[in-house]
Amino acid sequence: MIFNPGMPGTRLKWAFESCRNGAWGSEPDGENDVVCIRAADFDGQSGRLNAGERTLRSVDKTAFDKISLQPGDLVMEKSGGGEKQLVGRTALFDDDRPSVTSNFLARCRPAEEVDPAFLNYLMLAIYVGRGTYPHIKQSTGIQNLDLGSYLDMRVRIPGLTVQQRVVRFLDEKTARIDALIEKKRVLLDRLAEKRQTMITHAVTSGLNPGVQMKPSGVEWLGEIPAHWNVRGLTKCTWRVDYRGATPEKATIGVFLVTAKNIKGGRIDYEASQEFVSEDIYEHAMRRGLPAIGDVLFTTEAPLGEIAQVDRTDIALAQRVIKFSSSTRDLHNDYLAYWMMCSPFQAQIHSRSTGSTAIGLKASKIVDLPCLLPPVDEQIAIANEIKAGLERFREAEAMVERSLDQQIEYRSSLVSAAVTGKLPELNG
């Protein structure tokens, strides 16, 4: 907490004129359509709304008059959050379009003698200090903020002149920090693009820049090395296992690898931690346990993520396909990198269905082609990619550490400014 619970001060609720729950409304009808702000419109934990597309909903005039937003209102997240993110973010609303909040959010209107931007910075400092945590109730996996309890906490709010001084200071400082943060995120995106280019070039052209090329016979592949072959995935893998575990989850047992765990070419065991019981595991996996090196592919969001099995004491969730390659024709490592390459990924996404929940039927992947160099060349390509990926990971780790430092500095600066710990702002 940024404030001592026993300190004198005012209750946070007195900083607001009112707080009203939002409404989801109905499908747009062309008559009562307004912008409906959702949690997806928050710009992370910056205290702002992002510049993305907004959702239109139809809200009747009576309801709109009661819950409509105006510039200077705070939008507060009441329900939502996630495994690694607490519910309770706020953002300053500064749009002049007719707007409301969704039913998972609330419109909180600052009191007359409180600067909205200062109050937003104050709420941001409370949030990043995990100040919403004691006021969260969770059921069925959804975090719900007890707004009455939260707003009952005590805070210190200086006079309006000091508030405005703090806002000017933080607006200037955070703008500079945000510019640095954006540059580092752009750099991470560029590194990701270069990483993808490296993988794609290696698995589609090989390591010899002077190799003779030939038409692949596949329009989206173009030319390939003359001594390579093209074969369908089902003909170069000896097993494609579509069936994953679909039992009720348990609190202990065998680790269940879901689509959330597969990212960046690896199984991330921290991203999601779910389990299945031993007996259900044995029944669900009777077609064959995952073997070291097997290639995993996600058929739901995040679609097309690839990883290789690195331990055998795991179960695979539904919509995680396991490919087991024939070592005589196709090396597992090369297969994984082939499925990561840009042409293959483009084909995967072009065959997907759904608008909000994108997915892919397993039958739409097994007929896709795979490029087959000689096995010794596959191993050399895979080793070269592994070495390159390690270099990229080192570079990305350095950028991410610097990014985390900037984000932490931003949070610390906001907290210090709104709690009176910067003497130059108090005079």
In a domain, residue 223? The reply is no
How many structural domains is the chain composed of?
1
Instruction: Average the pLDDT over 293-307 and give the result.
Output: 88
pLDDT of residue 288: 60
In a domain, residue 95? The reply is yes
In a domain, residue 112? The reply is yes
Measured CA to CA in angstroms, residue 279 lies from 180, 252, 272, 356 at distances of 52, 12, 22, 35
Q: Are strands 314-316 and 254-257 parallel, antiparallel or unpaired?
A: parallel
Asked if 420 and 169 touch (Cβ cutoff 8 Å), the reply is no
Distance of CA 75 to the CA centre of its chain: 21
In a domain, residue 59? The reply is yes
- Whole-number mean pLDDT of the chain? 87
In a domain, residue 411? The reply is no
Tens digit of each residue's pLDDT (9 = 90 or more) over 79-104: 887 767 889 999 999 999 999 999 99
Containing structural domain, residue 150: 10-157
In a domain, residue 109? The reply is yes
In a domain, residue 232? The reply is no
The whole-model pTM stands at 0.83
Instruction: Average the pLDDT over 366-394 and give the result.
Output: 92
* pLDDT for residue 121 is more than 60: yes
DSSP for 331-399 reads -HHHHHHHHHSHHHHHHHHHT-B-SSS-B--GGGTTTSEEEE--HHHHHHHHHHHHHHHHHHHHHHHHH
Instruction: Average the pLDDT over 122-135 and give the result.
Output: 92
In a domain, residue 35? The reply is yes
Q: Tell me, what CATH number does 130's domain have?
A: 3.90.220.20
pLDDT of residue 4: 57
Q: Helix and strand tally (H, E) in the chain?
A: 9, 25
pLDDT of residue 277: 78
